[in-house]
Amino acid sequence: MVDESSDSLRTFGAVVQALREHVGLSREEFAALVRFSKHTVASVELGRRMPDVAFVERGEVITGNTGALRKAVVHLVRQPGLAAWFRRWAQLERMAITLYTYECRMVPGLLQTEAYVRAMAADQLPPLSDAQIEELWTARAERQRLLRERPNTAFSFILEEHVFLRRTGGVEVTRELIDHVLEVAELRNVEIQLMPLVSESHSGLQGPIHLLETPENEWFAYNEGQESGQLINDRKVVSVLQRRYASMRSQALTTLDSVSLLRRMRGDL
């Protein structure tokens, strides 16, 4: 059987080496610029090591921002349950020290329950197989471990009140979902705020916002639409989204008032 992961690593390594040589850098020079050892660079180029996200991002800048490394890295490892366009964000998510999420369409993946995932998957088009739905939930459950396994990462969520009022999956699913969100809200590193249904001032009307900060204090944003996603590292764009998110934090209910509203909604079910 062909080891596809090894083949993809070697292919990615060859791309790194070709781009490095194209800009006239030795391994030592390239290593200094990406801030990894020359032995790490060699291991990546020879297909022996998975590249870190920081390696890819810095390598892109150094080799001229062609997009080649960013496009190549998504094919290294198949991650069941994660869309191809989401995988690089998921990699960054695992190392983030700050993560902000505003959602107006659904409860975000980091806060979903299994029943909620299955309810949404039931209406997806084209239809999903049972195996694909299992993969969706497994991937989300794996991501959710970050909330507890990274206690020094600050998670902030701003959710529209109506994502709960929609009652996706029915009353029981919604009740369980609210219970789960209330439980997560008790974690010291998690803040959950609700944007009330009636809100005269709202800085997020242009859509969802996903922001994160890496250990190197670099900020990234992510924007997802129908069957597509975009990782954003343009500082001007990220800065605009940061300001919008900051504004929404003051416009949304406080964390205490948000918990109270969730409890009232649960009681009304």
* pLDDT range class, residue 6, cuts 50, 70, 90: low
CB 53 within 8 A of CB 88: yes
CB 5 within 8 A of CB 76: yes
User: What's the first-to-final CA gap in the chain, in angstroms?
Assistant: 53
Reduced to 3 states (helix: H, G, I; strand: E, B; else coil), residue 123 is coil
Q: Does residue 106 register a pLDDT over 90? A: yes
* pLDDT range class, residue 77, cuts 50, 70, 90: low
For the segment 219-251, what is each residue's pLDDT rounded down to a tens digit?
999 998 888 888 898 999 999 999 999 999 999
Q: Does residue 1 register a pLDDT over 60? A: no
| Mean pLDDT within 149-174 | 96
* Residues constituting the chain: 269
The rounded Cα 247 to chain-centroid distance in angstroms is 21
Q: Does residue 155 register a pLDDT over 80? A: yes
Q: Does residue 156 register a pLDDT over 80? A: yes
What mean pLDDT is reported for the chain? 90
Rounded Cα distance between 105 and 19, Å, is 40
Strand partners of residue 224: 229
pLDDT at position 71 is 81
Q: Does residue 67 register a pLDDT over 70? A: yes
